[in-house]
């Protein structure tokens, strides 16, 4: 971007950011004799690193970061000569954003494959044919481009 009054001059570059406090909330289903026992089971699972295992006996019901209410956004700017390399969190964010499209692709492929009972006895190197529409192929290429950039 350039200044409208001096189009031949580039404007200085800045890294601009803001921070918001968040809280990580996890909710799991636990069967117990009472609330204290349920909390004790959850605490033991937390310490064991199994709280997030999402099992039939202890389903993971909620796992997200929530912004803390009442915060105001305040930006800070740091001048830079060139943009630094993106932090790995950017790639992780792109992967999370692409996950629904990736899941849709896997579901599409799954719907076009022969049933598992048929392929169970086939040689593992047997080639399977599948067709995609041009639109589906374009979406696949776009998804791959997104994921390759991560």
The 10s digit of each residue's pLDDT in 130-140 is: 888 898 888 88
pLDDT(144) > 90: no
Indicate whether 65 and 23 sit together in one domain. yes
Domain boundary among 69, 84, 99: 84
Residues 79 and 90 in one domain: no
- Read off the pLDDT of residues 101-138 as tens digits, 9 standing for 90 and up: 888 888 888 888 888 888 888 999 999 888 888 988 88
pLDDT 10s digits, 17-65: 999 999 999 999 999 999 999 999 999 999 999 999 999 999 999 999 8
Domain count, the chain: 2
Residues 90 and 68 in one domain: no
131 and 62 share one domain: no
Nearest alpha-carbon partner for 65 in 23, 27, 95, 26: 23
For residue 42, give the nearest of 58, 56, 54, 23 by alpha carbon.
Answer: 58
Is the same domain home to 3 and 73?
A: yes
State the residue range of the domain holding 57: 1-84
- pLDDT value at residue 4: 57
Q: 98 and 66, same structural domain?
A: no
pLDDT at 5 over 70: no
* Helices and strands in the chain, H and E counts: 4, 4
CA torsion sign for 144, 145, 149, 150 is: negative
Question: Do 38 and 17 belong to one domain?
Answer: yes
Give the pLDDT confidence score for residue 6 in this predicted structure: 59
For residue 83, pLDDT over 80 is answered with yes
pLDDT in the model for residue 119: 87
Could you say which of 48, 66, 84 is where a domain stops?
84
Mark whether 51 and 1 lie in a shared domain: yes
Mean pLDDT of the chain: 89
């Amino acid at each position: 971007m350039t200044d409208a009054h001096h189009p031949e001059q580039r404007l200085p570059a800045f890294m601009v950011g803001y921070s918001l406090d968040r809280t990580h909330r996890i909710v799991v289903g636990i069967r117990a004799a009472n609330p204290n026992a349920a909390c004790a089971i959850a605490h033991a699972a937390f310490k064991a690193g199994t709280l997030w295992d999402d099992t039939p006996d202890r389903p993971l019901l909620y796992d997200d970061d929530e912004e803390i209410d009442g915060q105001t956004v305040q930006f800070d700017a740091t001048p830079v000569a060139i943009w630094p390399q993106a932090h790995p969190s950017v790639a992780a964010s792109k992967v999370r954003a692409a996950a629904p499209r990736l899941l849709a692709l896997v579901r599409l492929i799954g719907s076009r494959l022969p049933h598992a009972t048929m392929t169970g006895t086939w040689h593992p190197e047997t080639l399977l044919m599948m067709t995609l529409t041009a639109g589906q192929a374009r979406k696949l290429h776009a998804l791959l481009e997104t994921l390759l950039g991560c």
